[in-house]
Every structure is written in C-alpha cells, then in structure tokens.
Amino acid sequence: MKNIRTRHSAELKYRVALEAIEKQSTLAEIAHKYKIHPNLVNTWKRDFLEKAKEVFCKKNKNESQSNEKLINQLYEEIGRSKIEIAWLKKKLFS
C-alpha cells in the first residue's frame, strides 16, 4: 500500500509556524495537536522566518514606487478623459 502525500493549506502552515514561534508549546506538542510530523513544524517555522525578512526588503520599496507610478499615470488618464468629455459636451451643445 502506497502512502499518499497530504497537501496542507497555507492557513494551517501559517498557524503552525506562528504557534512554533511563540514557543508556548513544544514542537512535539504542536505536531501532535495538528497530526503532522515534528519535522514539518520546524520546516514551516524556518520558512516563515526566512520569508518574513523579505517583507522589509528594498524590493518592496521598488514595487511600491512602481505602483505609485501606475496610480499617477491612471489619474493623468482620468484627467485627460474628463477634459475631452467636457470639450466634446461644449462642442455638441454649442
């Protein structure tokens, strides 16, 4: 009989990692509670902490700057459209 791999949700991984970081329970207790292998608890905790560093990385600043540029471009386009509509209304009703 083959073992079937269980795919755990991101929600579960997040919950387990946070619980492991808080250190209110041992890894074995957390693993028993969620019916997973203790190595998974450790792996998810490590992954969580590694990815948390990226939140404060400069890369996110670049992304926010590009988002601001996009927003400014969209506002400019909206402004131009409003001007064109006003001009067309003026031409239509004069």
Residue 86 lies in a domain: yes
pLDDT in tens, 16-65: 999 999 989 999 999 999 999 999 999 999 999 998 887 777 666 667 77
**Stretch 72-93: mean pLDDT:** 92
CA terminus-to-terminus distance, the chain: 84
- Residue 11 in this model has a pLDDT that exceeds 90: yes
Separation between Cα atoms, residue 66 and residue 59, nearest integer Å: 11
DSSP 3-state assignment of 76? Answer: helix
Taking each helix axis as running N to C, give the angle between helix 10-22 and helix 27-34, from 0 to 180 degrees, rounded to the nearest 10.
150
Q: Tell me the three-class secondary structure of 2-49, residue by residue.
A: CCCCCCCCHHHHHHHHHHHHHCCCCHHHHHHHHCCCHHHHHHHHHHHH
Q: Do 33 and 51 fall into the same domain?
A: yes
- 3 occurs within a structural domain: no
**Residue 39: what pLDDT?**
95
Give how many domains the chain has, as a whole number.
2
Do 16 and 48 fall within a single domain? Answer: yes
Residue 45 sits in the same domain as residue 69: no
Q: Which residue has the higher pLDDT, 73 or 62?
A: 73
- In terms of residue numbers, what domain contains 47? 8-55
